[in-house]
Amino acid sequence: MIPAAFEYYRPTDMAGVIALLQEHGDDARVIAGGHSLIPMMKLRMAEVPHLIDLQDIEGLNSISVNDGVVTIGAMTTQHDIINSEPMLAAAPIMKEAALQIADPQVRYMGTVGGNVANGDPGNDMPGLMQCLNAQFHLTGPEGDRTVDARDFYEAAYMTEREDEEVLISVSFAVPVGGYAYEKQKRKIGDYATAAAAVQISKEGEKVATASIAMTNLSDVPVWSEAAAEALVGTDCGDAAVKAAVAAMLEDIDPTEDNRGPVAFKRHAAGIVLGRAIARAWSRA
């Protein structure tokens, strides 16, 4: 199918983007890489009379690491993440996750901003950003504001972003310790059946800090404080891992779909999370 007719805009500054959003209201949407919005438009699941492309806005595709903080422009692609030496040195979990997103063609165009702002529960970056305790930086008619990734998602495709706001960047403190992004999917290019992002730091032979989030197991990404607490202070042995998995299984709420019934998804979640914890601990 082809999308319904629409007007196409390519402003060169953020003021122009905001002006168009104010002028056209609910009839306007911004587009980054387009991998979520364009298929929905082609299937007539979304009708967008006014489409605003962010490709010509300068400064939205940068990666910086300054004073212990990683900042990623919203138009930074997964390919950019994979090939950034500063990113690899500061937060290697980002490359590990990006390499598991879709396929190379998608990663060349798919952006970090689009991945996190869309509110799709199957996207990889939202859960990862919650694991990293990231902040999302938005701009709109009322100025700039920041929202924690852990507070951003309300329901599937529903977020804290206002209709006239645009996500411009993501930032997080340089993570410490071991990391892992583990993903189970039916085939290359598919969304996760279950995916887990884990960061663990060590003090002596005990877990000092932990952060755990999972993807596509509820209508929002799930950061589980209880799962992390189950690991802190332990030697990350079998009993601690089982306790963390049990805590996460209490927090997720999967639904049956073409990736499997609920029982299978819960089983897959436990396996994926156990593997991610073990790998993160081995790197701590």
Residue 1 has pLDDT above 80, yes or no: no
Domain topology for 63-173: 3.30.465
Output the CATH code of domain 178-283: 3.30.390.50
Which residue spans of the chain are classified as CATH 3.30.465.10?
Answer: 63-173
Provide the pLDDT for residue 38: 81
Q: How far apart are the first and last CA of the chain?
A: 49
- Strand pairing category for 206-215 and 69-73: unpaired
Provide the pLDDT for residue 31: 93
Provide the pLDDT for residue 36: 80
149-167 pLDDT tens trace: 999 999 999 999 999 999 9
Structure tokens at 165: 């706001």
Residue 183 has pLDDT above 90, yes or no: yes
Kindly report the average pLDDT of the chain as a whole number: 95
Which residue spans of the chain are classified as CATH 3.30.43.10?
Answer: 7-53
Q: Left (φ > 0), alpha (ψ -120 to 50) or beta: where does 264 sit?
A: alpha
Q: What percentage of the chain reaches a pLDDT higher than 90?
A: 92
Provide the pLDDT for residue 43: 79
Q: Left (φ > 0), alpha (ψ -120 to 50) or beta: where does 104 sit?
A: alpha
What would you measure as the largest C-alpha separation in the chain, in angstroms? Answer: 62
**Number of Cβ atoms within 10 Å of the Cβ of 23:** 10
From the list 163, 128, 131, 161, the residue with the least C-alpha distance to 146 is 161
Provide the pLDDT for residue 246: 98
Q: Using pLDDT thresholds of 50, 70 and 90, give the confidence band for residue 259.
A: very high
Q: Could you give the C-alpha distances from 170 to 39, 59, 84, 193, 204, in angstroms and in order? A: 25, 13, 16, 25, 32
For domain 7-53, which architecture applies?
2-Layer Sandwich (3.30)
By three-state DSSP, how is residue 167 classified?
Answer: strand
Residue 45 has pLDDT above 80, yes or no: no
Residue 41 has pLDDT above 90, yes or no: no
Residue 35 has pLDDT above 90, yes or no: no
For residues 256-273, give the mean pLDDT. Answer: 97
For residues 57-72, give the mean pLDDT. Answer: 96
207-255 pLDDT tens trace: 999 999 999 999 999 999 999 999 999 999 999 999 999 999 999 999 9
Which residue spans of the chain are classified as CATH 3.30.390.50?
Answer: 178-283
